Structure 1
């Protein structure tokens, strides 16, 4: 403890902290005008408030100065007139005493006026030679000459004289009033009556007046400030609303109307912004519609391009199929007939008979493949009106035994309002059977198969849905290409869907597919309505 008391370096850290706090305070005070100026520059309400309050302060300051000046002059003038009145009254009382040299009466008169009037500090009666005949409270000055400048000027005055002075007895500012006394009926001056009039109460009245004016000015400034705050808020509120709406508009909220709660110039400006917003919204809607139409056109162009490419591929395959069928079909038929003849000529226990049967089945499969190839190039049968629902119902009876055997549940949902379509009945059966066969292959462990019809804007939509393993997304663009297959190991040639695509194209229809791995696939066939 003694060591800490004796160490003179200990007070310095606290002084340093105090100095740091003072520096921070002065720095904050130095930045305050800049912050206020920045606030005023960036805020319409603050500008309005500063302008109104500044104008109030200037006006109330000017009013205070003018009122106080007039009030002060009026109070001093009233005091001067009252001092002259008291002096004149004392002179009238003392005139006879002064002429008759009745000093006792003079002294009584001066003492009485001093005692009765709070503002009268002293009263003096001078003889014509200037000597004091009576002095209230100062009998020792009787018969003496007063040599101060105020007394000299008062004694020499020939007319009532009011002089500003500082009264020696109280050191208060006041008036020295001198009233010359003349002999009745003569112009001869017989003496002078003086009294000292204190201005202390006049200054107090002026201070009271100044205080009242300042209080009224402060109250007026406060009321004016509150009024200015109310007006600023009323004026700036629609501006703030307009700023918020315009800011939202610039951020992309084109559907929010720009409205403010006023009918003045700000309201007119908001109405103009609202007209601009509506015009821009209509323009954006027009652009969005144009974009949609352009996207639809691009989509149709892309689909047409794909159909054109597909048609070119099918045409090439058709030409190849025609050549292959023509060159292969005739010798294949001869070979099949020879094999058939040899098989029937062989003995029942001949082992070669089994091999000949296998050869005949494979030749039949080759013939089936050739028929698929010929379907691509063969001219389409004549289209005719077809009842889609009736055709599906006829197929349902044929499909059920095979589907039940494979544990596939068939559900047929038919819309009775669908119109007739324009296609060959055999081709429509081929399309549906092809899709059902693909669905069976996708559900080797069983599942659900749904065939549904519904009316579409241009005709009829027939959908075939399964709950199989689905088609990978990367395979979907190539499903209808010739020779594209995912069942090559099962002997698939990749011609079924391409033939189906060609059939629907020749009937002015088309086909779409949706698939998700693990959930199944849906093929939708669109056919135009029959135009009678």
Structure 2
């Protein structure tokens, strides 16, 4: 069952588009809300100014009428009603009501005659009666519609006859506002789509070079595969490409230095192994030399018959062949050369390596056994380095076992390769040392008895061949080293 995807699983382009889209959405919504609010304020202010202008212009005529009525120059009520009827009949004023209140709040004129004589005591009416200048308030009609109530005093100097109140419907304002909102929303949607398209294009423009460079990095299979396509760019992608190329350069230098150190360690360990083999090599050479010396002395002592001479010369030739073979084996092992990978007969390599330690085996009376499984596949390896690994393991095993001990060497076909084993019944390895035995210069032997490089060099050689090396050991119960190396690709290239 697949787990839920987290934000970290999303691609950089998806994150960029989502983040940009959300940001644009927030910005567009904020801008839309501000534009709607501004449009509302503009329309409300426009209606407010229109209402104030209308009411204040009517107030002049209403004030004159009330003054003339008080002076009994006009008949009371008729002219006020006429003015109210004319004002209500004007098109486009949005008037809902128009009334005149006396100082106590009683209706003395109203467009709705049923309101005549009523006294208004609500909060809006009280504030209107108390206002000394034109006052604009929000109010609601009896049917719940929102209104704009504009009130202005009907007064001359300190003389006040009442208050003129006019109620303006906000329906046209709301309709205009709704139309404006639709236009703003349409503009906002267009702006959002355009911005989203730009975000996608910008994301592609910014991230495609990065994706292209990532693909180049993915195809980089070696330290010499330096990506050059983006190095010449002058932006951050180019800087990243140059830093990546510089990093590969530093890695190449470090790898070369590591290889030099590894080669030096290998040479040091090989020389140390030759030193440990010196006594055995001398024995292998001295034995045939002693036989040859005996034959030469016998020939010099008299005049043997031709048959005896041929026999002595044959023995001398055989001894020279043994010496030549021993020297050739030692030179092949000691010779420094480039790594050459080729199909290798593992069984033959093991046999030749065991021959190099024959003297040490005989001197300690060690039981050395070689067990080879039939039909061993060849492996692709450097024969000299493989022999060095086996020799290092053999010399360590011979150092670990007592006299009359035993060392078992074997090789068998394993899944996809060959497993070689070197087992002994020696002193074993302490558990706390098992994790360090492949470290350079680590040794449990006494001073002067080892360089501490043998297993480290062997580990590096096995790793370079694509194999693995491990150990099973217990203090006092011996050790078993296992080396696994891959077979040649077809697994049948020559059989041992």
Q: Could you state the TM-score of these two structures normalised by the residue count of structure 1? A: 0.44
TM-score normalized by the length of structure 2: 0.47
Q: Which has the larger Rg?
A: 1
The structure, 1 or 2, with the larger RCO (C-alpha pairs under 8 Å, 6+ apart) is 2
